[in-house]
Amino acid sequence: MELRHLRYFVAVAEEGSLSVAAQKRLHTAQPSLSRQIHDLELELGVQLFVRGPRGIELTPSGRVFLDHARVALLQVEAAAEAARRAAQPAKSAFSIGFLTGYEMDWLPAVMNILRGKLPSTEITIRSEDSPDLAAALTRGKLDLAFMRPEKSTAGLQFKLLRHDPILAMMPRDHPLAARSAVRPKDLMGQSYIGVSSARAPTLRAAIDDFFKRHGLAIEPAHQAENLAMAVSLIASTGGISLLPLYALNLIPKTIVSRPIQGAPPMVDLVIGYNENNRSPLLQFVLSRVDEIKFQALGNEGR
């Protein structure tokens, strides 16, 4: 797989048209672009696009791949900039981690805050599960992480960014999709897709506590190791899962979300850092947390 495949794929996905992407974004011939997309689908072993009433549309696999392709291109740009800076006099370094999927909302805001520091700082980006981010902070491999409050990890401090409600997500044709909200008792008897206690312990604990409060004895029919796998299992099995608000950025049109009636389970998004890290740049970013929140969330107040 080459970078051009990712660039071509993202252009087609964002334009919703092979011809528009070829002419306006990529300045290439449409037949050539079609071959590149076909080659990418062959290499991945999945279909990324289908033709719909409004033009070319992403499949569930394509929707999941799009988010990762965007992040990969962002990371390549960051790597290229780091390489250029490495040829210059020695500079400071700063590493930022993201719970996979949050880059879309928060990375632009952080980079805007750091823009004035970029000429003298090498910025690196990592995308991982929250427990891995906590371990990297502890080992000094990361300076800052957008993550869950992994409070079992000693030596870490957290600044709250927002409380994310957990939503019920299901196929568009699921019987519960006809409701404006899902009652806790509606989850009984459903084919439930759970989340991993190892890869997402904070989310799993919030869901388990919610089930306990409502007296729900629910055993998962399937277990997802990550968000992409959860989305894929919802689409392929017709099951229902409980996922945080940010998952709306990643679900295809064939999957819908419904709020949980009453007091829904919540999970926190925080900025985590090692309390022993004395980096001046870390202190600078921590002092601008309110500005980062405003840029990422606007006036939504979430």
89-103 per-position pLDDT tens digit: 555 788 999 998 888
Residue 255 pLDDT = 95
Read off the pLDDT of residues 107-123 as tens digits, 9 standing for 90 and up. Answer: 999 988 887 766 667 88
| Residue 50 placed within a domain | yes
Residue 86 lies in a domain: no
The answer to whether position 19 is within a domain reads: yes
Is the predicted pLDDT of residue 260 greater than 90, yes or no? yes
Cα within 13 Å of Cα(91), Cβ side? 20
b or e along 117-154 (b: 16 or more beta carbons within 10 Å of the residue's beta carbon)? beeeebbbbbbbbbbbbbebbbeeebbbbbbbbbeebe
Residue with tokens 């090692």: 274
Assign residue 83 a region: left if phi > 0, alpha if psi is -120 to 50, beta otherwise? alpha
The mean pLDDT value for 253-275 works out to: 94
Per-residue confidence band for 39, with pLDDT thresholds at 50, 70 and 90 = confident
**Does any domain span residue 90?**
no
The CATH number of whichever domain residue 215 belongs to comes to 3.40.190.290
Identify the domain boundary among 66, 85, 117.
66
Read off the pLDDT of residues 136-167 as tens digits, 9 standing for 90 and up.
Answer: 998 888 999 999 998 777 889 999 999 999 99
Look at residue 29 and tell me if it is in a domain.
yes
Range of the domain at 51: 3-66
Tens of pLDDT, residue by residue over 282-299, are 999 999 999 999 888 874
pLDDT for residue 86? 59
For residue 149, tell me if it sits in a domain. no
Tell me which residue of 199, 192, 179, 242 sits closest to 220, measured CA to CA: 192
Distances (CA, A) of 261 to 60, 169, 243, 302: 27, 14, 15, 18
Check residues 27 and 285 and name the one with the higher pLDDT: 285
Alpha-carbon torsion (138, 297, 101, 107), positive or negative? negative
User: CATH number of the domain that 62 lies in?
Assistant: 1.10.10.10
Q: What pLDDT digit, counting tens, does each position of 210-239 carry?
A: 999 999 999 999 999 888 899 999 999 999
Q: What is the mean pLDDT of the chain?
A: 87
Whole-angstrom distance, CA of residue 202 vs CA of residue 189: 25
Over residues 155-201, the pLDDT tens digits come to: 899 999 999 999 999 999 999 999 999 999 999 999 999 999 888 99
pLDDT-based confidence at residue 88 (cuts at 50, 70, 90): low
pLDDT at 300 over 60: no
Query: Which one is predicted more confidently, 66 or 235?
Result: 235
**pLDDT value at position 299?**
42
Do residues 166 and 207 make contact, with C-beta atoms less than 8 angstroms apart?
A: yes
Whether the pLDDT of residue 23 is over 60: the answer is: yes
Number of helices followed by number of strands (H, E) in the chain: 10, 11
**How many domains does the chain fold into?**
2
Average pLDDT in the 235-256 region?
A: 91
Please measure the distance between the N-terminal and C-terminal CA atoms of the chain and give it in whole angstroms.
Answer: 38
Q: Is the residue at 97 inside a domain?
A: no
Share of the chain above pLDDT 90, in %: 44
**Among candidate residues 107, 104, 139, the one with its CA nearest the CA of residue 123:** 107
Q: Assign 282 to helix, strand or coil.
A: helix
**Residue 148 placed within a domain:** no
